[in-house]
Amino acid sequence: MPLMGEIALKMLWGDRAKYLALVFAVTFATMLMSQQVSIFIGLMARTASHVSDVREANLWIMDPQVRYIDEVKPMPDKQLFRVRGVQGVEWAVPWFKGLAVVRAPGGIMQQVILLGVDDASLVGRPPRMIHGRWEDLKQPDAMIMDRAGWEYTWPGEPFVPGRVVEVNDRRVAIVGLAEASPPFVTFPVVYSRYSQALKLSPTERNAMSFILARSAPGDDPKSVAHRIETATGLQALTSREFEWRSVSHYLQRTGIPVNFGITVVLGFIVGAAVAGQTFYIFVLENLRQFGALKAIGVGNTQILSMVLLQAAVVAFIGFSLGIGGSAIFFESTNDLTHLRGFRLHGEVIAATAAAVFVIMVIASFASIRKVMVLEPAIVFRG
Amino acid sequence: MSALPAVSTRGLCKDFPTGEALTRVLHDVDLDLATGALTMLVGPSGCGKTTLLSIISGILQASAGTVTVYGTEITGLSDREKVAFRRSNLGFIFQQYNLLPALTAAENASVPLVAAGVPLAQARIEAGKVLERIGMGPHLKKMPAQLSGGQQQRVAIARALVHQPKLLVCDEPTAALDAQTGLAVLELLRDVARSAERAVLVVTHDSRIFDLADRIVRMSDGRLEPESNQPRSVP
Ligand SMILES: Nc1ncnc2c1ncn2[C@@H]1O[C@H](COP(=O)(O)OP(=O)(O)OP(=O)(O)O)[C@@H](O)[C@H]1O
Ligand SMILES: [Mg+2]
């Protein structure tokens, strides 16, 4: 087919003001949508951060009434042995999750999330250590704090191993710093051995919060979970299932999704409206020219491809700028502790591209209709 | 005059819907245009000149009758065929020029070639040659907004000629120009008509240019008037 593309692009670029307005509208929508969805996903991932941080276990066992990770219903110790006895369970260890108050010299008082990992295997810890070694937890009255928690409690102070604090009237030394995935609640996270954690927490909570287990190689984790449930009457979930449980709890029980949803929809609507309006005016102003082209012998398919090319170029440039803007935002905020872990996911980029595509289809629909039904005879009218 | 007329209309009628009813604005128009001549179509405002021109050039559907252009009955063509026919056989000149404001003079003049599949760079060179021939050589790279009305109409003429069409249709080509420029544009069109196997049909109100016609066809109320006093004979 004859190439009117170059002429279509010159028409577009010739009208600098409208071209910029179009690109801006798409850039704005792209940035707003991709950035908000990414932050939303990051925030939701935080609700399951304690689960996703544990890499060794693939099964989480808990009281049947627990609906998400932040809801803790202690279980009697004997359940641990029953779980260990279920066929297909390679190993099972206790895990503690509770709240505690850290007191430090200088009047510092800080509420923390206290996690107790297995005494022997240290299963239940996050994967990355920044200062010290996990083995140091085996010293008496030792705990490891997460980096963000340290910076939050002692802003600007470099880490010094062995700093002594008081937890539940016990003196404990902070022997290392770990990198924990950011939790939804902004409290610092401290890790200790399970037996130590029981001593550090206020008495009424001192029992097993979760059992972490691994299915035997070759056994399907889901069917092992099912067997555990039948054998113990407890609730057993795969790590993925439990993560998703926690995320969906926040999705269903809070206004967060609605809030982000409104912003995303707003970005979509504003983008589509501004781009559609501007594109329509652009085509209207060029209507006589399009009519002249039709009279001269430019067919409807050619006219259509000209308008589609104009729309596609605007969409592509606007989308690229918008995604670039979002990427720069996440890149430059990655070092900020409170925004860590938020990043632009490939899926979000793809979904935003699809949304921009729909925006441009909506935006160019009226314009395309207008030029397609245009009678070339109008060019001889005054 | 060659045996085969450039354009031949028979029993041409056109009705426009006006509210509930139809109004007939062309009544049984029989018109033959000769090759190698510039024919002017004149008449009072609203008599149907533009309507006739639009049907002859295949951008408006006739209600009845036939139009034959160089042996092709265009009233029987499909929309798609009409577009292709116009692309290779017709040149258009409008009162409002209708140039694309974002394209240079040479690019504007090259549009019919590009529409027919010639790459823009090559089409621009061809268009440049046509523009040079009509005295626009120094202005090839100017945008329409940088040109005077007469210059813009010359760009439009170059656009209408660049693909060597057999029929040139012009609606009020001088209406937006001063007398002198109008005359110059018309002389150019007459030369175009005479120098090639081509017919030129000009619709006009402009009595200052009547002298340049090979033939004048008068119209009133949608009908052609009998032709008696021809200003000059067709060569
Ligand atoms: N699309 C249309 N719908 C309805 N009526 C139309 C349409 N186009 C033209 N007419 C009518 O047809 C008649 C002829 O119009 P046309 O434009 O052909 O006249 P004209 O001779 O070119 O006039 P002018 O010299 O003013 O340009 C007029 O009465 C006009 O109102
Ligand atoms: Mg008219």
B218 within a domain of the structure (yes/no): yes
Domain assignment present for B211: yes
The reply to whether B231 falls in a domain is no
**B46 alpha carbon to ligand 1 midpoint, in Å?**
5
Q: Is the dihedral of CA A26, A27, A31, A34 positive or negative?
A: positive
Average pLDDT for A136-154 = 92
For residue A212, what pLDDT is reported? 96
Distance in angstroms (rounded) separating the CA atoms of residues A234 and A64: 5
- Tens-place pLDDT, residues B171-208: 999 888 888 888 988 998 998 888 778 999 999 988 88
Residues of B in contact with A286 (CB under 8 A): 100
Q: Is residue B1 part of a domain?
A: no
3-state secondary structure (DSSP) of residue A83: helix
Task: Single out the residue of B177, B235, B146 nearest to residue B157, CA to CA.
Answer: B177
CB contact under 8 A, B94 and A292: yes
**What pLDDT is stored for residue B4 in this prediction?**
79
Q: B14 CB under 6 A from ligand 1?
A: no
Segment A125-130 mean pLDDT = 91
- Closest Cα to atom 12 of ligand 1: B25
**Quick check: B68 and B8 in contact, CB under 8 A?**
yes
Query: Does A297 contact B119 at a Cβ distance shorter than 8 Å?
Result: no
Q: Contact, A186 vs A53, CB < 8 A? A: no
- On whether residue B2 sits in a domain, the answer given is no
Query: What is the domain range of residue B142?
Result: 7-226
What is the predicted pLDDT for the residue at A179? 92
Instruction: Report pLDDT for B233.
Output: 44
| Ligand 1 in reach of B46 Cβ (< 6 A) | yes
| Whether the Cβ atoms of residue B5 and residue B32 lie closer than 8 Å to each other | yes
Distances, alpha carbon B215 to alpha carbons A356, B38, B93, B167, B200, in Å: 59, 7, 19, 16, 11
Q: What is the pLDDT of residue B229?
A: 56
Whether the per-residue pLDDT at B2 is higher than 90: the answer is: no
Going by pLDDT thresholds of 50, 70 and 90, the confidence category of residue A147 is: very high
Distance, first Cα to last Cα, chain A: 32
According to DSSP, residue A234 is labeled S
Task: Give chain B's domain count.
Answer: 1
In this structure, which amino acid lies at residue A299? G
- Whether residue A98 is predicted with pLDDT greater than 80 in this model: the reply is yes
pLDDT tens by residue, B48-104: 999 999 999 999 999 999 999 999 999 999 999 999 999 999 999 998 889 999 999
What is the DSSP code (8-state) at residue A180?
P
Q: Name every chain B residue with its beta carbon within 8 A of the beta carbon of A379.
A: 59, 92, 94, 96, 98
Contact A299 B96 (CB under 8 A): no
The confidence band for B234, taking pLDDT boundaries of 50, 70 and 90, is very low
Q: Which of A4, A297, A377 sits opposite B84 (nearest CB)?
A: A297
A96 — pLDDT class (breaks 50, 70, 90): very high
Q: Cβ separation of B103 and A13 shorter than 8 Å? A: no
Gap between the Cα atoms of A221 and A218, Å rounded:
9
What is the spatial distance between Cα A246 and Cα A239, in angstroms, rounded to a whole number? 11
B44 lines ligand 1 (CB under 6 A): no
Domain membership of residue B41 (yes or no) is: yes
H runs (alpha helix) in chain A = 5-14, 16-46, 49-52, 78-84, 147-153, 194-200, 221-232, 239-253, 256-285, 287-296, 300-333, 346-373
Confidence tier at A254 by pLDDT (50, 70, 90): confident
Distance from CA of B54 to the nearest CA of A (A): 6
For residue B232, tell me if it sits in a domain: no
Domain harbouring B115, CATH code: 3.40.50.300
pLDDT greater than 80 at residue A205:
no
Its pTM stands at 0.82
> For residue range A281-336, what is the model confidence (pLDDT) as tens digits?
999 988 888 999 999 999 999 999 999 999 999 999 999 999 999 999 999 887 77
In a domain, B132, yes or no: yes
Task: Give the burial class of B157: count Cβ atoms within 10 A of its Cβ; 0-12 exposed, 13-18 middle, 19 or more buried.
Answer: buried
